[in-house]
């Protein structure tokens, strides 16, 4: 399992994140903390240990399960708890906003290409993000100071 961590100011996000950068105060104008994992495959399940949704937060076990190769059903399991499931027959790529460990996380998947791509975006605010998440579903990019991106690549 490889892990690459980059902390840098990003002038342009990767193409698959462009829809998040349409707003001039969107994530493209924020500092990006980026973690990239190559998932360990076991049958049609891909797993990563010690993943972080925030730079200085607890580590998590992330498992993405596809019920058959090419995926007809995708399940996302965080720390042994299923947090999301979707029928991917008509949705080989998509985005869903999830609440994980008290955080608001944008989960994106792309099953068209190889490697399969799973991305988690979390906004970090000047005050504690978990407390903020409990107050409501604020999702304005201009209010955050940093964007945390956790990307998992999975080869079949």
Instruction: Kindly tell me if the per-residue pLDDT of 67 is higher than 60.
Output: yes
Closest CA to 156 of 75, 66, 94, 53: 66
The pTM for the full model equals 0.74
Mean pLDDT of 73-89: 93
Is 149 within 8 Å of 33 (Cβ atoms)?
yes
Mean pLDDT of 112-130: 76
Q: How far apart are CA 47 and CA 138, in angstroms?
A: 30
Instruction: Kindly tell me if the per-residue pLDDT of 44 is higher than 90.
Output: no
Instruction: Kindly tell me if the per-residue pLDDT of 61 is higher than 90.
Output: yes
Percentage of the chain surpassing pLDDT 90? 21
Maximum mean pLDDT: which of 29-33, 95-99, 111-115, 131-135: 95-99
> Which pLDDT score is estimated for 22?
47
> Which pLDDT score is estimated for 23?
46
Q: What is the mean pLDDT of the chain?
A: 74
Closest CA to 148 of 50, 41, 51: 51
Is 3 within 8 Å of 118 (Cβ atoms)?
no
> Which pLDDT score is estimated for 107?
93
Least confident of 39-48, 132-141, 142-151: 132-141
């Amino acid at each position: 399992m490889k892990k690459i961590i980059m902390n840098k100011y990003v002038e342009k996000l990767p193409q698959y994140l462009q829809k998040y950068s349409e707003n001039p105060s969107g994530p493209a104008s924020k500092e990006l903390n980026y973690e990239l994992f190559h998932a360990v495959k076991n049958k049609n399940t891909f797993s990563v240990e010690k993943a972080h949704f925030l730079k200085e937060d607890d580590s998590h076990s992330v498992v993405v399960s596809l019920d058959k190769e090419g995926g007809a059903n995708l399940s996302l399991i965080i720390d042994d708890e299923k947090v999301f499931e979707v029928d991917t027959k008509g949705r080989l790529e998509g985005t869903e906003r999830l609440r994980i460990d008290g955080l608001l996380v944008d989960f994106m998947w792309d099953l068209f290409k190889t490697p399969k791509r799973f991305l988690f975006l979390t906004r970090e605010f000047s005050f504690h993000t978990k407390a903020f998440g409990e107050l409501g579903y604020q999702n304005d990019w201009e209010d955050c100071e940093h964007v945390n991106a956790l990307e998992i690549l999975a080869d079949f």
